[in-house]
Structure 1
Amino acid sequence: MVPVRTCVACRKRAPRTEMLRVVVREGRLLVDDRAVLPGRGAWVHPVFQCLDRAVTRGILLRALRVSGKPDVSPLENRLKTLMDN
């Protein structure tokens, strides 16, 4: 049986292997490629629409239960890398 996760942005379900897990580490939003980092994680599709919606509307921060403004530049850099490939 394949593990299934729900995207916090679009609420669609997909296999875990097709999604990105995002965590907060030291005040920064990071992509957890191997899904092994400790702490609360949120799952999102690796497409511009879902990542942009999750960040700009604050959905990701609510899902991660984070207050304040963490550094989103690592996540934005990852998005740019995905868009280039």
Structure 2
Amino acid sequence: MESVRTCIGCRSRAPRSSLMRIVVRESRVVADVSAVLPGRGAWLHPTLECFRLAERRRAFGRALRVSGPLDATEIENRLNG
């Protein structure tokens, strides 16, 4: 049975395979496509809608336990295609 994770944007639970893992690297939020990067990760539906919700709720810093400003433009650009 596949593990279930919660999207930090919409807060709904979903199978791990339908979510994108994100981690912090030098104050930048980056996608961990293969889900193997070290450190605390958070999960997000790969949609702009969930990204915007997470940004508005300031969920990145909370979920990744980072204080201070985070640069999430890499994730935003990835979702914009």
Calculate the TM-score normalised by the size of structure 1.
Answer: 0.88
Q: Which runs of 4+ in 1 moved over 3 A?
A: none
Give the secondary structure class of the aligned counterpart of 2:55.
helix
Residues 24-39 of structure 1 mapped to structure 2, 5 A cutoff: 24-39=24-39
State the Cα deviation string for residues 24-50 of structure 1 (Å, max 9, x = none): 011110010011000001101111111
8 Å CA contact 2:48, 2:76 repeated in 1:
no
The offset of 1:4, in angstroms, is 1.1
- Unpaired segments ≥5 residues, structure 2: none
8 Å CA contact 1:55, 1:61 repeated in 2:
no
Q: Is 2:71 the partner of 1:76?
A: no
Calculate the TM-score normalised by the size of structure 2.
Answer: 0.92
Q: How many residues align?
A: 81
The offset of 1:2, in angstroms, is 0.9
- What does residue 13 of structure 1 align with? 13
State the Cα deviation string for residues 1-28 of structure 1 (Å, max 9, x = none): 1111111121211111100111001111
- Unpaired segments ≥5 residues, structure 1: none
Give the secondary structure class of the aligned counterpart of 2:29.
strand
Q: Percent identity?
A: 54
Q: Given residue 32 of structure 2, which amino acid in structure 1 is its aligned partner?
A: D
Query: What RMSD, in angstroms, separates the aligned Cα atoms of the two structures?
Result: 1.0
- What does residue 45 of structure 1 align with? 45
